[in-house]
Chains A and B, each alone.
Chain A
Amino acid sequence: MRAPEGIGPAEGRAAAAARRRRLLDRAWTHGWLVLGVLVFALPIWITLVGSTHDAATIGRGEVPLLPGHHAIGNYATAWAEGGGRFRTTAAAVMLWNSALMALLIAAGKIAISLLSAYAVAFFSFPGRMAFFWMIFLTLMLPVEVRIIPTFQVMVDLALINTMAGLVVPLVASATATLLFRQFFLTIPDEYVEAAKMDGAGPLRFFRDVVVPLSVTNIAALFVILFIYGWNQYLWPLLVVNDSSLETIVVGLSKMIGTGDAQNEWNTIMATAVLAMLPPVAVVVLMQRWFVRGLTETEK
């Protein structure tokens, strides 16, 4: 490489070496990142490919690397009848159940947490801290550690095999309450004073000032909580055994049974794609809110 004018050959060589080093460094960076992206994408790609071939091709163990021609048939079957050998529940039904459950969980958690955070942040009343700690302590009691007694409560309240049973026990949220309380404390006292001066009561202040100010936080939380709701597994597995209430994540895992090779893997893979699509779309389309929600809820 020729040295630029006015620079001696030694400096020219040094500059060229530095440039080469930078180029190498950049190639190394891109190389590893591309590899990382590929490792992440490989299982998804193979699933997509699997959903476009016929069951026999996959059953013979000849999954190609490129899509086949059976996409429409496979997705139509999975959508209308269900995937796998037994086609227990149509994906359309399971998707509807999952969507309803996820939306209700996210909306319920946000509504309940807004209200309780408002009470804790804007009122002074006996037992305030006790209630606050009670809510906080739910962080330490995930479903997994109280399976049987919680199931007993569900039986006693006749909530087994109901949408309410899927949703209600999951709508308490310590993290959302903590987050909203934190945010409410940053609302200046002057706002409250002004509202009081104008004769606005606490409910009016909540509706006209607090909720509009919280819109950003609500959006960010909604993304996280929707994914949380959609991806529920143990709880629907316990509470629902009626196939008309099956959620798609649990339904999908029931389809594969013990992982037998002689199954309708093409329709199972189509169902898997359908199960992934809504939450992945939410993350990709609302990426900014998603990252914000994630980093804020975990503080």
Chain B
Amino acid sequence: MRRRVIFRGKVLPYLLLAPQIAVTLVFFFWPAGQAIRQSVLREDPFGLRSEFVGLENFREVLADPLYLNAVWNTAVFSAAVAALALGAALFLAVLADKQIRGAGAYKTLLIWPYAVAPAVAAVLWLFLFHPSIGLVGRALNAAGIAWDYKLNGAQAMALVILASAWKQVSYNFIFFLAGLQSIPRSVLEAAAMDGARPAYRFWTVVFPLLSPTTFFLVVVNLTYAFFDTFGVIHALTGGGPGKATETLIYKVYVDGVQNLNLGGSAAQSVILMAIVIALTAVQFRHVERRVHY
């Protein structure tokens, strides 16, 4: 879409764009280009010389069992966070959409966790699930379950999943509620008139009508789980115990910032870029088409 009436100006539009473009070039495109360049180079340990090694860094990264471990962790973590956050949000949104007293109050009480930073959410859950000082952690131990997320990898994973999903439910809830409220009442009434039971009605009428929202939220939740949960993992487990909660983003950080393995970290960055590009492309294709099944 374009407007008919426009302003003329030879320099002004460039001046208006300059700040945004400057930041974009200096802090986005230049570093991204450097990441791609470094991903095909190898530096000697003193950083004096570097030589072109082609796809050697990628081959090494993809053959590294620790990297494959991070891929697996990321898959489990992202799928669990998305499923948990979406499921809980859909359930609560369906309930809050009913004509009940106090719907507004419930809404307010359910959306504020969005404002809690991931790292702060991690601290809250740590305090709750700490094996010796946490309310729930102690209760679990008292109940005979050996709970210590600092020793048990599966428990650590469960805890970072819980803390990450907890924070994301409010976001999904807002979108599901908006989606539910945009379904015309007449459609629901027609379905009710046909005598279908509520649960059947939900899965055959409401849920298909929500599919654009659900699809959009799946992409957003996966992106969130991939990129925005660094704070949760960093604050809660530091990728441990062992490497049990080390995700792809966390590994880039550890290899690049702590171990200073530039080539390997750059190759991982390039792989991550490909993942974001894929996720963004899917998201925007969907937005353009507004899929309805």
Q: Is the CB of A261 within 8 A of B130?
A: yes
CA distance A98 to B108 in the complex (A): 25
Binds A, one of B25-33, B62-70, B183-191: B25-33
Q: Number of A-B pairs whose CB atoms are under 8 Å? A: 291
Total interface residues on B, CB under 8 Å, equals 98
Decide: A171 near B23, CB < 8 A? Known: A29-B100, A234-B231, A280-B112. yes
Q: Which residues of A contact B256 (CB under 8 A)?
A: 147-148
Given contacts A33-B95, A146-B32, A153-B26, contact A295 B108 (CB under 8 A): no
Contact with B along A124-160 (1 / 0, CB 8 A): 1100100100110111111011111111110001000
**In the complex, A202→B113 CA distance in Å?**
42
* Interface residue? A80 (CB, 8 A): no
Given that A26-B100, A177-B20, A259-B150 are known contacts, is A46 also in contact with B118, CB under 8 Å in the complex? Answer: no
Pair B118/A192 contact, Cβ less than 8 Å = no
A175 to B266, CA, bound (A): 26
Q: How far is the CA of A142 from the CA of B5 in the complex (A)?
A: 36
Contact A141 B220 (CB under 8 A): no
CB contacts (< 8 Å) of A119 on chain B: these are 12-14, 16-17
Q: Are A112 and B19 in contact (CB under 8 A)?
A: yes
Asked if B257 contacts A32 (CB within 8 A), the reply is no
> Which of B50-58, B72-80, B170-178, B203-211 lies at the interface?
B170-178
Determine whether A265 belongs to the interface, using a CB cutoff of 8 Å to chain B.
Answer: yes
Does B215 touch A at the CB level, under 8 Å?
no
Does A185 lie at the interface of the complex (its beta carbon under 8 Å from any beta carbon of B)?
A: yes
Question: A279 vs B170: C-alpha distance in the bound complex, in angstroms?
Answer: 14
Do the beta carbons of A141 and B276 come within 8 Å of each other? Answer: yes
> A295 to B32, Cβ gap below 8 A?
no
The CA of A142 and the CA of B133, in the complex, are separated in Å by 37
Residues of A close to B133: CB separation below 8 A:
58-59, 61, 63, 261, 265
A279:B115 contact, CB within 8 angstroms: yes
Q: What 1/0 flags go to A240-262 for Cβ under 8 Å of B?
A: 00000000011011001011010
Given A47-B124, A185-B1, A192-B3, residue A227 in contact with residue B114 (CB < 8 A): yes
Q: A41 to chain B: closest CB distance in Å?
A: 7
Please tell me if B201 contacts chain A, counting CB pairs below 8 Å: no
Contacts of A193 in B (CB 8 A): 5
Question: Is A69 close to B, CB under 8 A?
Answer: no
Cβ contacts under 8 Å, B266 to chain A = 148-149
Chain B: minimal CB distance from A251 (Å)? 10
> Which segment of A1-9, A86-94, A281-289 sits at the interface?
A281-289
Distance between B50 CB and nearest chain A CB, rounded to angstroms = 14
**Contact of B164 with A by CB under 8 A:** no
Contacts of A172 in B (CB 8 A): 20, 23-24, 27-28
Q: Is the CB of A144 within 8 A of B23?
A: no
B interface, over-half SS? helix
The answer to whether the Cβ of A75 comes within 8 Å of any Cβ in the partner chain is no
Residue of A nearest to B117 (CB): A231
Within 8 A of B (CB), among A8-51: 26, 29-30, 32-33, 36-37, 40-44, 46-47, 50
Instruction: Out of A111, A147, A261, name the residue touching B269 (CB < 8 Å).
Output: A147
Most buried by A among B9, B10, B116, B280: B116
Complex Cα spacing A254 to B180, Å: 41
Q: Within residues 104 to 121 of chain A, which ones have a CB less than 8 A from any CB in chain B?
A: 111-113, 115-116, 118-121
| Contact between A61 and B138, CB atoms less than 8 A apart | yes
Decide if B135 touches A295 in the complex (CB within 8 Å): no
CB–CB A145/B269 < 8 A: yes
B147 within 8 A of A: no
Knowing A112-B20, A272-B124 are in contact, say whether A36-B92 is a contact too (CB < 8 A): yes
Which B residues lie within 8 Å of A139 (CB)?
280
B196 to A: closest C-beta gap in Å: 16
- Contact pick for A253, options B6, B119, B138, CB 8 Å: B119
Does residue B245 face the partner (Cβ distance < 8 Å to A)?
A: no
Q: What are 11 A-B contacts with C-beta separation under 8 Å? A: A40-B110, A120-B17, A146-B34, A149-B34, A153-B27, A192-B6, A233-B117, A252-B119, A253-B119, A269-B127, A272-B123
**B interface residues, Cβ below 8 angstroms from A:** 1, 3-10, 12-14, 16-17, 19-21, 23-24, 26-35, 38, 88, 91-92, 95-96, 98, 100, 102, 106, 108-128, 130, 132-135, 138, 150, 166, 169-171, 174-175, 178, 216, 220, 227, 230-231, 234-236, 238, 249, 252-253, 256-257, 262, 265-266, 269, 272-273, 276-277, 280, 287
A: which residues have CB within 8 A of B? 26, 29-30, 32-33, 36-37, 40-44, 46-47, 50, 58-59, 61, 63, 65, 111-113, 115-116, 118-125, 128, 131, 134-135, 137-142, 144-153, 157, 168-169, 171-173, 177, 185, 189, 192-193, 196, 201-203, 205, 227, 230-231, 233-234, 237-238, 249-250, 252-253, 256, 258-259, 261, 265, 268-269, 272, 275-276, 279-280, 282-284, 287, 290-291, 294-295, 298-299
